[in-house]
């Protein structure tokens, strides 16, 4: 077992949920995002409410899971969760109000779309000042809260599938592999083919090509 896996195994990722359950709070939502760093496509957020005794060995921050494992966990979470809401803000919104504000809007949307009651929200790092429901921002929450971990998986798989579809239209950008992040192949494709509508025009190096291609 690697040092990182040993450290992860020491984390009680149900601590925050247990504390809330002990106070009589039953409907706890985890909220996380994916897609703040890519050059193309939307930012996607998920809000997930798990049943009290939900367990899924190995569930953690989606970035630490293989694509196959994420897909497996996605199916389990979608089947067993009490409620799941998805929030999506596309590149136009991101360019208009910036990625941080777009992420917050997407989180509000995911929470609003969750079809079950929510008594408390656990959020990965961010504060949602306009949220009417009690909430707790948790630094590295996708490692420390099973609810946020579940949300990170749902958000990641949802966005990855969107980029896989975009890859079918524009295979030269290698979206299937880079998911819109600025890999060498992606940047070289921008230099060779220009930008597409789904690129974030305010993100470098995309912004360098806006005047040239728009």
Q: What is the DSSP letter of 14?
A: T
**Residue 6 pLDDT class (50, 70, 90 cuts):** very low
**Residue 45 phi, psi dihedral angles, 5° rounding:** -125, 155
pTM above 0.85, yes or no: yes
Q: How far is CA 123 from CA 100, 104, 152, 177, 191, in A?
A: 14, 11, 10, 28, 37
Query: What does CATH list as the number for 3-159?
Result: 3.30.420.10
Residue spans per domain, the chain:
3-159
91's tokens = 């590149």
Neighbouring CB atoms inside 10 A of 204's CB total 10
**Residue 7 pLDDT class (50, 70, 90 cuts):** very low
pLDDT tens digits, 92-151: 999 999 999 999 999 999 999 999 999 999 999 999 999 999 999 999 999 999 999 999
Q: Report whether pLDDT(35) > 50.
A: yes
* Residue-level pLDDT at 209: 84
Question: Distance between terminal CA atoms of the chain?
Answer: 51
pLDDT tens digits, 76-85: 999 999 999 9
In the numeric block, the tokens 């579809």 are attached to: 165
């Amino acid at each position: 077992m690697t040092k990182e896996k040993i450290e992860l195994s020491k984390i009680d990722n149900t601590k925050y949920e247990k504390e809330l359950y002990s106070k009589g709070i039953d409907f706890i939502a985890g909220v996380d995002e994916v897609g703040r760093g890519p050059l193309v496509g939307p930012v996607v957020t998920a809000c997930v409410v798990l049943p009290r005794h939900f367990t899924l060995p190995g569930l953690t921050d989606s970035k630490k899971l293989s694509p196959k494992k994420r897909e497996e966990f996605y199916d389990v979470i979608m089947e067993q969760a009490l409620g799941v809401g998805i929030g999506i803000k596309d590149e136009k919104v991101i360019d208009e109000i910036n990625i941080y504000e777009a992420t917050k809007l997407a989180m509000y949307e995911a929470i609003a779309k969750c079809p079950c009651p929510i008594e408390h929200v656990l959020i990965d790092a961010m504060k949602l000042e306009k949220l009417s429901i009690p909430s707790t921002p948790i630094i590295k929450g996708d490692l420390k809260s099973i609810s946020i971990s579940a949300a990170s998986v749902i958000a990641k798989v949802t966005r990855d599938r969107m980029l896989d579809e975009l890859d079918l239209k524009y295979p030269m950008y290698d979206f299937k592999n880079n998911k819109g992040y600025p890999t060498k192949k992606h940047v070289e494709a921008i230099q060779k083919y220009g930008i597409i509508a789904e690129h974030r025009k305010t993100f470098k190096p995309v912004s360098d090509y806006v005047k040239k291609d728009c």
